[in-house]
Structure 1
C-alpha cells in the first residue's frame, strides 16, 4: 500500500519506519521541506517529499503534526485522492496550541480536524506514547499485547486503520465513530496508559467528558514541573493514576 505521512517527528517517523518495514511504500514530509528530512527518511526506509506530494497517489495519509497546525496543511488535500484514508494522530494541548474555543466547548478534536480538512478522518495512534510505539509492539496473538483505540465514521477507513495498527505491533480497538473519539483524547483513561484490549475497552467506556480536560491539564502541569525527568514507565503509571477516578 502507498502511504504518505505529513510530520517527521517521533510519532510520524516511527510510523514511517514500521510501515516501511511491513512492506508499504512510504513518503515522509516534514515542515521544512524534503531536504530537511532526507536523512531521517533514508534511516526509516521512506522517500522524502514535500507535504503537497505526500498526499498524491496514496491510499493512506497520516497527519502527525501539532494539532493547531492542522489548518495550515488543509490546502494540500486538494490533490489527495478522494478515497484516501486520512489518519489523524494529533492531540490538543492548550498550553502548546493556544485556546481553541470549539474544542474547549466540547467538540471532539478529530471532528474539528475533519471540518478544517473538508474530509473525514480516522482518529488513531494519538493515544500512545512515542516510546510505546517505537518499542512496545508485539506480534499478533501475543499475550498482554498493548491495544490502541481507533475511531472512524467509515467502515472501510476503520478497517484500514485497524490493519495498520496491527502491523505496527498493537491490537486495535474499534472505539466507535468520530463523535465519540473524545473517549481517547488526552486526560482520559485510554490515553497513553498501555492497556490490553479488554482493559482498553473498559477504559474507553469509563471516559468522563467533563473531567478529561481537567486531568489533561493536571498531568501536563505535573510533567512540566517535575525536576527530575520521569521515566517512560513512571509517565504511564501517572497517567493511569490520575485518570483512574473517571467512570
Structure 2
C-alpha cells in the first residue's frame, strides 16, 4: 500500500498529484532540479505531511514514485535510487521542446519505453500524461461516484499497473488499461484521449495562443471509464485527432 508518494518534478502535474495525495492522507516527498529550497512555498502550502528533498531521496523514500519532468531530461532520473520501484511516467514527447529523439520519431519506441530502458531496474507505468493539471485536481471524486472520471494507464508489469491503479483510485480516479508500454502512444499528445475528453470544445476562431489561454481557464468535464476506453481504442498511430492540442 502506498503511504508515501515521491515526486521527481514538482511543476503543474507534480504539484497537483501532491495536493491530491495530501488530501487522501498520504505523505509526499517533493523534488526538482533546482533544489529543496525552491519548494519551500509549495511545502508550506501542503502542510506537515509534505517535505522537500533531492530527487534521489524522493526516489528512495517513496513507496511509489512519480517522474514528471520534461522528457528530454529523462536520463537524469536517478536510476540506482529507483531500482525496485514502480515509477509513474507522466512525460510526453514534444520535439519542439525536447529536440528530436530518433527512436521516438521513427516509432521504434514509445516515450515510456525509452524511460523504461533508462530505468532498467524499475517498473514504469504510463499515467497522468493526458489531462491538464487543473482538470486533474477538479475532477477527482470518491470511489463509486456517479460522475467519476478515468485515466488511461499502460505498463509491462501487471503488479505495477495494479499498484498505480490503487493509487489513482485513492486519489479520485478510475483507470483504463491500454496494455503494455508499447501501446502507451494511445494517450500521447493529439490522440483522441489526450486532454480533450475532460474539457469542452474551444470556441471557433481562436488563434493558437488564445487556445492555450482558454485551456487553462476551461471548465472540467467528467470523462467516465467507458468513454476513455472508447477513445483509447479509436486511436490511430501517427494520426492527429485533436488539432487544437497540437
Structure 2 length-normalised TM:
0.82
| Partner residue, 1:182 | 185
| Partner residue, 1:203 | 231
Q: Is the 8 A contact 2:79 2:118 kept in 1?
A: no
**Of 164, 169, 173, the match for 2:172:** 169
What is the rounded CA distance, in whole Å, between the counterparts of 2:39 and 2:7 in structure 1?
A: 12
Unaligned residue ranges in structure 1 (runs of 5+): 222-247
| Partner residue, 1:137 | 140
**Of 28, 31, 50, the match for 2:33:** 31
What is the rounded CA distance, in whole Å, between the counterparts of 1:34 and 1:96 in structure 2?
A: 25
| Partner residue, 2:211 | none
Q: Is the 8 A contact 1:7 1:31 kept in 2?
A: yes
Unaligned residue ranges in structure 2 (runs of 5+): 199-222
Secondary structure of the residue aligned to 2:80 is: helix
| Partner residue, 2:67 | 63
Structure 1 position 94 matched with structure 2 position 98: no
Q: Is the 8 A contact 1:2 1:57 kept in 2?
A: yes
Aligned pairs for 1:72-151 (under 5 A) are 72-73=76-77, 76-80=78-82, 82-106=83-107, 107-118=109-120, 119-151=122-154
Aligned residue-pair number: 215
Secondary structure of the residue aligned to 1:78 is: coil
Runs of 4+ in 1 over 6 A off after TM superposition: none
User: How many angstroms does 1:163 deviate by?
Assistant: 1.3
Structure 1 length-normalised TM:
0.82
Secondary structure of the residue aligned to 1:77 is: coil
Secondary structure of the residue aligned to 2:41 is: helix
Q: Is the 8 A contact 1:122 1:150 kept in 2?
A: yes
Secondary structure of the residue aligned to 2:28 is: strand
Tell me: higher relative CO, structure 1 or 2? Use CA pairs within 8 A at least 6 residues apart: 2
What is the rounded CA distance, in whole Å, between the counterparts of 1:135 and 1:144 in structure 2?
A: 12
Deviations along 1:151-176, one digit per CA (max 9) or x if unpaired, are: 11111111111112122222111121
| Partner residue, 1:239 | none
User: How many angstroms does 1:220 deviate by?
Assistant: 4.5
Select the structure that is richer in helix: 1
Deviations along 1:19-44, one digit per CA (max 9) or x if unpaired, are: 12212221000220000012212212
Q: Is the 8 A contact 1:68 1:97 kept in 2?
A: yes
User: How many angstroms does 1:117 deviate by?
Assistant: 2.4
Structure 1 position 54 matched with structure 2 position 63: no
What is the rounded CA distance, in whole Å, between the counterparts of 2:156 and 2:91 in structure 1?
A: 17
Root-mean-square deviation (Å): 1.6
**Of 14, 20, 30, the match for 1:12:** 14
Deviations along 1:23-75, one digit per CA (max 9) or x if unpaired, are: 222100022000001221221241111112111133211001111111122xx
Q: Is the 8 A contact 2:123 2:160 kept in 1?
A: no
Q: Is the 8 A contact 1:59 1:83 kept in 2?
A: no
Secondary structure of the residue aligned to 1:151 is: strand
